[in-house]
Amino acid sequence: MLATLIIWIYQLFIILPIGVFLITLDGKDDPLREKDNGFWMIGFLTGLATITSIASFFSLFTNIGWQVHLFFLIAAIVTWIYLLRKKQLSQITRRLPRMGGLQKISIGILIFATGIVLFAATKIPSNADTGIYHAQAIHWIETYKAVPGLANLHTRLGYNSSWLVANALFSLSFLKIQSFHLLPSTLFIVCVIYFFGGIFAVLGGEKKLSDLARTFFFIAAFIFLSTEISSPGTDLPVTLMIWVISVEWIKLLEKPHNEIMKAGKWLVIISLFCVTIKLSSAPIVIFPLWYLIQGAKQKQFIKSLVFIGIMALFIYCPFISRNIIISGHLVFPGFSFDPINLDWSVPQEIVEREKRIIHWFALMPRKSFQEFNELTWQTQYKIWFYDQIPRHKAILVYLVTIPFLWIFLLVFSKWKTWVTQNRGYLFILVSQYIGVLFWLISAPTFRFGYGFLLSAVILLALPIIAIVTQLSQHLAKTLQIAVILFSFFVCFKSCQISTMHQINPSQLLMPEEYPKYSTIPCKFGNFNLLCPAEYDACWYDPFPCGIRSNENLFMRGDNWSEGFTQKNDNGF
C-alpha cells in the first residue's frame, strides 16, 4: 500500500497541473472557483483528457515508454512552477469551513472510504476482460507503437480505448518492477473525494440538487464499482465520468446564465474524451449539443461551434488514427459500411460476427450463439430480463414506472411549479434515458450501462427528495442521519467485498501483479506464439500472446511492430 500511495501522489502530480493550468487561463473570475471541490475534479479530468490525447498521438509513432513519460513529467514540473510563481493556486485554495457535528462525524466516512480504496487498489484485477485483453493491450502500447492489424491477432485487441493508453503511460513498466494498474484507483479516489463534498454539504444544511446528486453517487460508487477499482477496464472510468458530468451539468443550471459558457467548456472536453474510452458512452455528447444551444441563446453559437470542433479534432484524430492502424477500420467493431480498406484490415465478415457476438454475450451468455440467432429479438430481451438479478430488475422497473409518478405529481402546484421552472433539468434527464436506450440496443450488460442507468435513477429521485425535505425540518434532519448511516454501511459492505482480511503482507508495500496462467505453443501462418492452456486469457505475460492457433494469420514483416494480416481465398 505504501507504493500505491506514492504512485497516487505521483499521478496527481502529473495530471492535476495540466488541467488546472488550462482552467486558470480563463482568468481570476472563472466560475469554477467556488467553495466545493468541483474545480479540482474538473481540473483532474481535463488534465487526464489532455495528457491522454497527446499520449495517443505519440503512440502512433513510438511506444509509450520512459521517453514519453519523461516528456509529461517535465511538462508537469514546468506547469507547477508556473502556477506557483503566478500564485494561481493560492487564488483557488480556501480554508476549510467551520464544521457542524454531523460534518465532523462524516470525516470518518471519508477516511474509511479512502482506506477501502487503498486496499482494493492492491488486489489482482477481478474484471475478466483484463485477463482477456486489457493487460495484453497495455503491454503492446508499452512496447511498440500502434501495430498495424493487431486486431487480427485477437479481435479484442482491436477494441481501441484511450483509457488503455493512459494506463500504459502511468504503468511505469520501464522501471522494470512491474506494470502497475493503479490509474483506475487514482481516478476512483479523486471521484470519491469529489462526491463526498456532496455529503459534507448536505450535512451542513445545503439543499442543492447537485449536492444531493453527489451524495448518492458516492454511495453508488461503492455499491456498484468497488470490485473494479484494481482493474484497468473501461467500465469504471466511463461510469464515473458520466456521473461527474451529470453533477456538473446540474451545477451549471444553478449558475447565472452568463457563467454557463465559461464553466461548461471544460465539460465539453470531458464529454468528448469519454467517448474515446468506451464507445457505449457516445450519448454523453448530448452535453456538447446542449452547450451549443446555450451558445446560440447567448449569441455565441459560432464561438461555441469552433471550440467544440477544435476539441473534437484534438481528441478524436489520434483516437481514430489508432483505430485505423490496429484494426484497419474507422471504428472497431463498428459500422457495416467502412471506406477504409488496407492490407491489414480485419475482414468484414469477422467484424460483423464480432458485433453479433458482443450483442449475444451481453443478452444471453447462457445460450449458445446458434440458439441466440434462432430467437426473435422480443424473445431475446424477454429471456434477458428474466435472467437479471433482483436489483437489476428493480432498476429497470424503477426507470419505467417513476416517470408516471412524475406525471401524477403534476396535480400538486408545488411540483408543477418546479417542473415548469426547471426544464433544463428535464433535458439532462432525457439525455440519460437516451444513454440507457443506446445501452439497451447495443450491449445490455449492466456493468456497461451503470453510467447512464444509475444517473437516470438518481436524477429521477432528486427533485422529489429535495421538495419533501423542504416541507419539514424533521424530514431534513432524518435525511442527514440516513446519509451518515447508509454511507458507513455501504463502506463497510465494500470492505467485506474487497476481502481486506485476505490481504497478503507483501501488499502492504506493493500492489499485486497481474497473474500468470499456464500456456502451450500454438501455430500461426509464418510464426509461433504461446497461447493460454485453459481459459482464453493471456493477462500481461507471456508477451506477445495469442488466444488460439490460426494458420491464416501472418506477420507482415520480420518484427512484431510491422503488424499482422489475414489470408483469404485470393491471397493477402
- The phi, psi pair for 545, rounded to 5°, reads -130, 135
**Which residue, among 295, 334, 344, has the nearest Cα to 150 in the 3D structure?**
344
Whole-number pLDDT of residue 501? 47
Alpha-helical segments (H) within 131-182: 135-143, 150-153, 162-169
Q: What percentage of the chain has pLDDT greater than the value 70?
A: 90
Higher pLDDT, 59 or 484: 59
Contact 246, 283 (CB under 8 A): no
User: How many domains does the chain contain in total?
Assistant: 1
Q: What percentage of the chain has pLDDT greater than the value 90?
A: 51
Residue the block writes with cell 491464416: 552
pLDDT at 205 over 60: yes
- The phi, psi pair for 290, rounded to 5°, reads -60, -40
| C-alpha cell belonging to residue 412 | 400538486
Whole-number pLDDT of residue 408? 92
pLDDT confidence band for 33 (50 / 70 / 90): low
pLDDT confidence band for 43 (50 / 70 / 90): very high
pLDDT at 91 over 60: no
- The answer as to whether 436 is a domain residue is yes
Contact 182, 511 (CB under 8 A): yes
Contact 287, 303 (CB under 8 A): no
Whole-number pLDDT of residue 97? 59
Neighbours of 397 (CB within 10 A): 11
pLDDT confidence band for 570 (50 / 70 / 90): very low
Going by the DSSP 8-state scheme, the letter that residue 545 receives in this structure is B
489-542 tens-digit pLDDT: 776 666 655 554 466 666 677 888 898 888 899 999 889 999 988 788 889 988
Mean pLDDT of 242-260: 89
Whole-number pLDDT of residue 303? 92
| C-alpha cell belonging to residue 125 | 484485477
- The answer as to whether 430 is a domain residue is yes
pLDDT at 380 over 90: no
- The answer as to whether 389 is a domain residue is yes
Non-local (6+) Cβ contacts of 3 within 8 A are: 180, 509, 510, 511
Residue the block writes with cell 470519491: 192
Mean pLDDT of 376-403: 91
pLDDT confidence band for 36 (50 / 70 / 90): low
Question: What distances in angstroms separate CA 271 from CA 28, 330, 487, one per listed residue?
Answer: 25, 20, 28
Contact 101, 480 (CB under 8 A): no
Q: Please tell me the pTM assigned to this model.
A: 0.93
Calpha distance 238→449 (Å, rounded) = 9
Residues present in the chain in total: 572
316-355 tens-digit pLDDT: 999 999 999 999 998 888 766 667 788 899 988 888 888 8
Whole-number pLDDT of residue 257? 75
Question: What distances in angstroms separate CA 342 from CA 35, 71, 130, 251, 282, one per listed residue?
Answer: 53, 33, 29, 46, 26
Calpha distance 511→178 (Å, rounded) = 9
- The answer as to whether 121 is a domain residue is no
- The answer as to whether 527 is a domain residue is no
pLDDT confidence band for 561 (50 / 70 / 90): very high
- The answer as to whether 315 is a domain residue is no
DSSP code string of 96-121: PPP--HHHHHHHHHHHHHHHHHHHHH
Which phi-psi region, left, alpha or beta, contains residue 513 (left: φ > 0; alpha: ψ -120 to 50)?
beta
Helix (H) or strand (E) holding 528: strand 528-532
Lowest mean pLDDT among 167-171, 269-273, 363-367, 549-553: 363-367
Mean pLDDT of 9-19: 95
Mean pLDDT of 409-436: 91
Lowest mean pLDDT among 99-113, 147-161, 196-210: 99-113
Non-local (6+) Cβ contacts of 384 within 8 A are: 363, 364, 444
Lowest mean pLDDT among 13-22, 264-273, 495-504: 495-504
pLDDT confidence band for 397 (50 / 70 / 90): very high
Structural domain range at position 375: 361-478
Whole-number pLDDT of residue 269? 96
Calpha distance 225→239 (Å, rounded) = 9
Whole-number pLDDT of residue 482? 76
- The answer as to whether 426 is a domain residue is yes
Mean pLDDT of 20-30: 76
Mean pLDDT of 241-251: 95
Q: What integer best gives the mean pLDDT of the chain?
A: 87
- The answer as to whether 399 is a domain residue is yes
Calpha distance 55→38 (Å, rounded) = 25
pLDDT at 108 over 60: yes
Whole-number pLDDT of residue 348? 86
